[in-house]
Amino acid sequence: MKQTRNTQAKTEIFKLLEQAEVALSPAEILDTLQGLCDRVTIYRVLDRLTEEGAIHKIATVEGVIKYAICQQCTIEKHHHNHIHFTCERCQNTTCMTDIEPSFTLPKNYKVKAVNFTVSGICPECG
Ligand SMILES: [Zn+2]
Ligand SMILES: [Zn+2]
Ligand SMILES: [Zn+2]
């Protein structure tokens, strides 16, 4: 029984993130899914989906953790190098998948993950 509920939660959470135009925090997901699952389940499902390359974690400038859908990631590898933008007014965080930050590290440093987050005012609030 428990297994079935978790599978359903996973499907619903993935659908929610897929349809959202902005990144969602676990608290927002909990609110939206009212009663379908508890906080612990949501965290577990988010971890699982991240491992599977379905979604990625974003830390905003303020340190809020949000999740957004991945475009081309697989279970073997997350591959993205895009900027996240958080609006100071509406708090919406979006993936800017076309914008790649460019930087060069000193020799011998190997990049494993990039977390590039910008905060400011979005077009809707500007
Ligand atoms: Zn990814
Ligand atoms: Zn805004
Ligand atoms: Zn993103």
pLDDT value of position 58? 94
Q: What DSSP state is assigned to residue 106?
A: P
Mean pLDDT of 119-126: 96
Quote the pTM value.
Answer: 0.88
24-27 contacts, C-beta under 8 A, 24 or more apart? 24/66, 24/67, 24/68, 25/64, 25/65, 25/66, 25/67, 26/65, 26/67
Q: Write the Ramachandran bin of 73: left for phi over 0, alpha for psi from -120 to 50, otherwise beta.
A: beta
pLDDT value of position 59? 92
115 pLDDT more than 90: no
pLDDT value of position 2? 56
For residue 40, how far is the Cα from the chain centroid? Answer: 17
Mean pLDDT of 77-93: 92
Q: How far is the CA of 28 from the centre of ligand 1 (A)?
A: 20
Could you tell me the residue ranges of all domains in the chain? Answer: 2-120
94 pLDDT more than 80: yes
Mean pLDDT of 46-50: 96
The closest ligand to the CA of 70 turns out to be: 1
pLDDT, tens only, 3-36: 677 789 999 999 999 999 999 999 999 999 988 8
The domain made up of 2-120 has a fold known as Arc Repressor Mutant, subunit A (1.10.10)
The beta strand positions in the chain, using DSSP E, are 55-59, 65-69, 83-87, 93-96, 116-120
**Number of H-type helices and E-type strands within the chain:** 3, 5
126 pLDDT more than 60: yes
Q: What type of residue sits at position 91?
A: Q
Q: Which helix (H) or strand (E) holds 45?
A: helix 39-51
Q: How far is the CA of 75 from the centre of ligand 1 (A)?
A: 9
Q: How far is the CA of 118 from the centre of ligand 2 (A)?
A: 13
Q: How far is the CA of 83 from the centre of ligand 3 (A)?
A: 7
